[in-house]
Amino acid sequence: MIPQLQITCVPSDWDASTLTAAGITLDDGRTLIPRDIVASDLPPDLLAVWHGAVDAISTLDPGGWAASLIIAIRGATTTYAPPAEEGMAPEQIVTPHLALAIHRRWDDGTTAPPITQTYTDPYMLHFFDVLTSPSFWWPSANTADANPS
């Protein structure tokens, strides 16, 4: 499994949403069991990014729906710049992004079609990288003191 954040949303109080980090692998190849944190328990710098992400998600499709589950994974888009000189290979440009699959429900409780969004915001990428890092959950995660499954 690749690292991902699985966010169980509480649209009436976004800070009560639960973020689950899954697919976190140690240097020795062991995979840690998924870990949860409630958004309000995030460190202040990550909580500020969380609030910005909630604002961005809230503007996607105004009115009539609420997010129920968000799956976030890190990805990258590769593009090619024209070659600087004729006969040279084009320059490869890799842009990291965070891909979100936003599962939704309508106000009447029925399921709405999911939305997929990508974000290149460095703060959102940092947020993801920190929360899917073994050291966030276990400061000694890459030592014999770790408690992985």
Q: What is the pLDDT of residues 74-132, one digit of tens each?
A: 999 999 988 888 888 888 999 999 999 999 999 888 999 999 999 999 999 999 999 99
> Under the phi-then-psi rule, with left for phi > 0, alpha for psi from -120 to 50, and beta for the rest, what region is 95?
beta
User: pTM here?
Assistant: 0.83
Backbone phi, psi, residue 132, to 5°: -105, 15
Give me the torsion for CA of 118, 123, 127, 130, rounded to 10°: 120
- Residue 62 pLDDT more than 80? no
Residue 21: name the closest of 101, 116, 133, 105 by CA. Answer: 133
